[in-house]
Amino acid sequence: MAPTPELDVTVVVDAPRNLVMKAFFDSQALQAWWQVVRSVTTPRALGPYAIEWAATDFRDDVLGQLGGVFRGTVVQCDPGRGFFVADAYWLPPVGDPIGPMAMDVTFDSVASPSGGAGSATRVRVRQTGFEESPRWRRYYEVFTVGMERALHSLRMLLEK
């Protein structure tokens, strides 16, 4: 049997943790780095974490049209360490949702890659939750690539 898929992506951003945390909750920042069209995110326990992307013009053979809404509940939030979203679902523009799952975003300080005096932030995004089906497997394939691209954009935004 194939291993249980999950999303696990890490990037080092040459910016302090508080700015990285803000970028995950600020609607303008989310628009800039994650191409979110709308968001309701509250960085506190029991706060909502709902983000929406525009529906794509193309259709994936397994998932259908991409875009839609990712929504869950923030259950832990520490600006210096990260946050945890539980009871999360992806609601595609058309078709059944995928979930429940969890998203764990953690931050640690690391030496600045530029060699400057400040520290940088290692950002790790891990998403788990799975039911054996082609849709779940394809979800992790597509969304891992998407998260890699998004975190690269986050790095570019915060290192300007």
Q: So what's the pLDDT on residue 3? A: 80
Q: In this predicted model, which residue has the larger pLDDT, 140 or 118?
A: 140
Give the Cα separation of 69 and 30 in Å (integer).
Answer: 13
Nearest Cα residue to 109 out of 7, 11, 16:
16
H or E element: which one contains 154?
helix 134-158
**150 Cβ contact list (under 8 Å, min separation 6):** 33, 34, 35
Q: What is the pLDDT of residues 86-121, one digit of tens each?
A: 999 999 999 999 999 999 999 999 988 776 667 899
Name all domains of the chain by residue range, CATH numbers in brackets. 7-158 (3.30.530.20)
The average pLDDT across 40-59 equals 97
Q: Residue 35: what pLDDT?
A: 97
Residue 1: CB partners within 8 Å, gap ≥ 6? none
**pLDDT of res. 117:** 65
Nearest CA among 54, 73, 56 for reference residue 65? 56
Assess whether pLDDT exceeds 70 at residue 24: yes
Percentage of the chain beyond pLDDT 70 is: 96
Mean pLDDT of the chain: 94
Q: Give residue 79's pLDDT.
A: 86
Structure confidence at residue 113 (pLDDT): 76
Give the per-residue pLDDT at 148: 98
Does pLDDT of 4 surpass 70?
yes
Q: pTM score, two decimals?
A: 0.93
Task: Give 1's pLDDT tier (boundaries 50, 70, 90).
Answer: low
